Chains A and B, each alone.
Chain A
Amino acid sequence: MKPKTHFLRVAPAVLMGLTMTACGAASSPTASSTNGAQFSGTFIFSGFGGSNEDTLVQVCLDPFAKLHHIKAEAVTNSGLAELELMEKTHKVTWDVTYSSVYSPGAGNWSSLLTPINYSIVNKNILPSQYRSYATKYGMAHDVGADAIVYNKDKIHGSQIPKTWADFYNVKSFPGTRAIGSVDYAGPYYSMQALNTALTGSTNPYPLNFSAAVALLHNDASDMVFYNSSTQAEQLLTSGRVDIADVPTASVVTALLAQKFPLGVNWNQNVVSPEFLEVPKGAPDVPLAMEFIQYCDSTQQQIAYAKLHPNGPVNAAAIAALSPAVAATLPTHYSNIASPIDSNWWTPARVTAATNQLLTVESQ
């Protein structure tokens, strides 16, 4: 037998050890986000991470804690599934949760949420176009939007898609496209955009999932599905796609900052609310309602809009924005928008839309 280094004899064990270490490292961020005590006198705000959560902490959570002389903490959640697990174990630690723009059905998740007390939370701050964003279980805090974008170096003049009907017509408007996958808002944004393309109306409700999926099938070979805003940016900058349906706050802001030749078409932009909600069994429900009211107040909404490219939902705040700031926000384009109807989306419809779109992605 040839002499071998001792190292090689233990290599499989090292390999297994490294694998287990990697698994542990991968799971630790999620575990750490839910490690708080059930109620320790600390007001816990659960966001979905990123710059949006940071902004909310800066303009809402920290000043609110100072105002009420309480301790406050922000934890990042991985979605409503985490809340369901908390409720199953009767250890709800969050006072307020912030549902991503990618789950507008969240406002209707009655099994997980406490009804909003509109005697504390003033829903009259909403302008007429966002009135439906005061749902039974969630009050809007801001609005995000998806718009059609394109690489200006490759798409010119009459080749530029101006509507969702153009976007989903590859024959007349050639070029590879990207849209969000089911894990990245696909069930809401893509279904809404597809139905807007089918009906020609910016209010395409009730949505027809089967017809939408049939239209998507026509262009499926030219379609790329992205799972994150970073991936969407990468698809555009690498030249993999020429045209895309992307969230304006993250992708458009990032690409314009990089001086990427990005054309943005706000026509029929799909607008969706981001909700503040109170979990069922939250430690301090009245304080949570006050927090929501505070976040939606005019001053906090103006402060938010100056720091984050999502639009505020407070009518007085929208009116008070400087023209330069206002022009970068979805609220500026609400007259040409196709708003998502939060009240129409239910968990059952989210499931149906998800499975239908996933079937297209899988083939």
Chain B
Amino acid sequence: MTLQSSAANPGLRVMTDYPVERRSGSARRFERTGLLCLPAVIYMLVGFVLPLGIMASYSVTNPSLSLSNYDTLFQESLYRILLWNTVRITALVVIATLLIAYPYAYLMSRLHGMKLAIMALAVLLPFLSSTVVRAFTWLTLLSPNGPIPGMLRTLGLSHPPTLVGNSFSVVVGLAQVCMPFLVFPIYSALTLVSDDYLRAAASMGAGPLVAFRRITLPLTKPGIVVGCLLVAVYAMGGYVTPELLGGQGSVILNQDIVTQIQTVVGFGPASAVGVGLLLLSAVCVLFAAKLVGSRSVFGA
């Protein structure tokens, strides 16, 4: 047993059961300067910042040193349409996912044990299958001869609406893919809402709806915003689902990047679109930080 100074209060000497760890001055300096983060920093620089830099440089150097690629983005009506499609579909995916994910997470927060584990697994399990497989599953379900239009016909709708090859199928497909990104942040936020708050509200005459609106919803706002941010960024970056389930009117900026590279070998225009998408994601992040504070979004 040894006597050590408390870190919080140097004047206080406390008894410990373990020997004092002797650290060299350089080790302490190492910790202080955060060099332990170096591998992660290098990884991010090489794997993320450098490629982004190359992409940004391509956007102004390919095919020649100019801003012509950005000029095209602003001048051509194609890009205004693609931007609108991207924002519209992303917003619809966020709304659709939130409408399903919140009640689901709320129900999860009321359950325990096996029931809770089953509900969580039901959200996570689709992640174990490929996005392509999931998109083709929706294609089968929603196609005119598929079970869902068949069910609508059985219910008396002789000419069911087209459910695939449009924005609807893209939103449905992306919402399913994005569900875990919203369910778990909301669930985490809900578990922090103590039942005592709700009991206190009830004791003061608040009904369940009022308690939800005045207590639960505000307290889970950070989870909702962070989850919506993850969904929005994922939906904006999605390619496979819009490519397989989409059609006329649902082409988004991401698909144009692939087209520019594969069809016309246009690295410059594709990079300019990539930079545009990155800025769009940054706007979403800043908006989220404004709503719930940077600590909830960035963790600091």
A-side interface residues toward B, CB under 8 Å?
Answer: 1-5, 7-8, 11-12, 14-15, 18-19, 22, 25-26, 78-81, 84, 103, 109, 112, 182-183, 187, 220, 223-225, 227, 231, 234-235, 237-240, 347, 350-351, 354-355, 358-363
Given known contacts A238-B145, A361-B251, A363-B81, is B267 in contact with A84 (CB within 8 Å)?
yes
Stretch in B33-41, B184-192, B278-286 touching the partner? B184-192
A234 touches B77 (CB 8 A): no
Smallest Cβ-Cβ distance to B192: which chain A residue: A1
Smallest Cβ-Cβ distance to B113: which chain A residue: A5
B191 touches A355 (CB 8 A): no
Count A-B contacts at CB 8 Å: 125
A-B contact pairs, 6 of them (CB 8 A): A5-B116, A8-B116, A227-B244, A239-B144, A354-B264, A359-B77
Q: How far is the CA of A240 from the CA of B162 in the complex (A)?
A: 8
Residues facing A in B14-44 (CB within 8 A) are none
Given known contacts A8-B120, A18-B128, A359-B78, is B259 in contact with A182 (CB within 8 Å)?
yes
Nearest chain B CB to A183's CB is how many angstroms away? 6
A-contact 0/1 string along B198-222, CB 8 Å cutoff: 0000000000000000000000000
B248 touches A8 (CB 8 A): no
Residues facing A in B153-170 (CB within 8 A) are 162, 164-165
Nearest chain B CB to A186's CB is how many angstroms away? 9
Q: How far is the CA of A153 from the CA of B262 in the complex (A)?
A: 37
Q: How far is the CA of A191 from the CA of B58 in the complex (A)?
A: 30
Complex contacts, B274 vs chain A, CB 8 Å: none
Nearest chain A CB to B190's CB is how many angstroms away? 10
Nearest chain B CB to A31's CB is how many angstroms away? 14
Q: How far is the CA of A326 from the CA of B77 in the complex (A)?
A: 46
Q: How far is the CA of A354 from the CA of B244 in the complex (A)?
A: 19
**A-B pairs, 6 with minimum CB distance:** A238-B143, A362-B251, A362-B81, A79-B262, A351-B264, A81-B261
B85 on the interface (CB 8 Å rule)?
yes
B53 on the interface (CB 8 Å rule)?
no
Question: Interface range on chain B: under 10, 10 to 19, 20 to 34, or 35 or more?
Answer: 35 or more
B264 touches A358 (CB 8 A): no
Complex contacts, A11 vs chain B, CB 8 Å: 120, 124, 180, 184
B-side interface residues toward A, CB under 8 Å?
Answer: 76-78, 81-82, 85, 112-113, 116-117, 120, 124, 127-128, 130-131, 139, 143-146, 162, 164-165, 180-181, 184-185, 187-188, 191, 194-195, 240, 243-244, 247-249, 251, 255-256, 258-267
Q: How far is the CA of A231 from the CA of B81 in the complex (A)?
A: 24
Contact of B249 among A25, A237, A347, A363 (CB under 8 A): A363
B264 touches A350 (CB 8 A): yes
Given known contacts A15-B127, A15-B180, A350-B263, is B117 in contact with A7 (CB within 8 Å)?
yes
B259 touches A220 (CB 8 A): no
Q: How far is the CA of A15 from the CA of B76 in the complex (A)?
A: 39
Complex contacts, B82 vs chain A, CB 8 Å: 358, 362
Complex contacts, B124 vs chain A, CB 8 Å: 11, 14-15, 18
Q: How far is the CA of A351 from the CA of B78 in the complex (A)?
A: 13
Smallest Cβ-Cβ distance to A183: which chain B residue: B259
A220 touches B248 (CB 8 A): yes
Given known contacts A3-B112, A234-B143, A238-B143, is B248 in contact with A225 (CB within 8 Å)?
yes
A80 touches B128 (CB 8 A): no
A227 touches B243 (CB 8 A): yes
B116 touches A4 (CB 8 A): yes
Contact of B265 among A5, A235, A347, A363 (CB under 8 A): A347
B248 touches A223 (CB 8 A): yes
B127 touches A22 (CB 8 A): yes
A224 touches B112 (CB 8 A): no
Nearest chain A CB to B219's CB is how many angstroms away? 14
A182 touches B263 (CB 8 A): yes
Of residues B78, B260, B263, B267, which shows the largest number of chain A Cβ atoms within 10 Å of its Cβ?
B263
Complex contacts, A363 vs chain B, CB 8 Å: 81, 248-249
